[in-house]
Amino acid sequence: MKQGLVTGGGGFLGRAIVAQLLALGWKVRCYQRGHYPDLLAAGAEVWTGDLTDIENMKQACQGVDTVFHVAAKAGVWGPYEGYFAANVTGTRHVLEACRANGVQRLVYTSSPSVVFDGRDHEGIDERTPYATRFLASYPQTKAIAEQMILAANSPELATIALRPHLIWGPGDPHHLPRLIARARNGQLRRISGPTTFIDATYIDNAAHAHILACDALKPGAACAGRAYFIAQGEPVATWDFIQATLEAVGQPQTLPTIPPWLARLAGAAAEDTYRLLGIEREPPLTRFVAQELTTSHWFDLTAARQDLGYTASITTDEGLRRLAQAYASDATNQT
Residues 195-214: tens digit of each pLDDT? 999 999 999 999 999 999 99
| CA atoms of 335 and 333, how far apart (whole Å) | 6
| CA atoms of 109 and 146, how far apart (whole Å) | 8
Mean pLDDT of the chain: 93
CB-neighbour burial class of residue 20 (10 A; exposed 0-12, middle 13-18, buried 19+): middle
Residues 18-27: tens digit of each pLDDT? 999 999 999 9
| pLDDT at position 330 over 80 | no
pLDDT band at residue 174 under the 50/70/90 scheme = confident
pLDDT band at residue 83 under the 50/70/90 scheme = very high
pTM value is 0.94
Confidence at residue 282, expressed as pLDDT on a 0 to 100 scale: 86
Residues 307-324: tens digit of each pLDDT? 999 999 999 999 999 999
| Alpha carbon of residue 200 to chain centroid | 10
Give the single-character DSSP code of 1.
-
Residues 117-143: tens digit of each pLDDT? 989 999 999 999 999 999 899 999 999
Which has the closest alpha carbon to 200: 160, 173, 227, 240?
240
Active site residues: 138
Q: What are the helix (H) ranges across the chain?
A: 12-23, 37-42, 54-60, 80-83, 90-101, 137-151, 175-184, 203-216, 238-248, 260-277, 287-293, 302-308, 316-334
Q: Which amino acid is at 223?
A: C
Residue ranges and CATH numbers for the domains of the chain are 3-168+199-234+298-314 (3.40.50.720)
| CA atoms of 202 and 313, how far apart (whole Å) | 10
CB-neighbour burial class of residue 186 (10 A; exposed 0-12, middle 13-18, buried 19+): exposed
Q: Which amino acid is at 164?
A: P
Confidence at residue 332, expressed as pLDDT on a 0 to 100 scale: 62
* Rounded percentage of the chain residues whose pLDDT exceeds 90: 76
| CA atoms of 172 and 174, how far apart (whole Å) | 6
Which has the closest alpha carbon to 123: 27, 229, 265?
229
CB atoms within 10 A of CB 257: 12
| Alpha carbon of residue 15 to chain centroid | 13
| CA atoms of 129 and 227, how far apart (whole Å) | 12
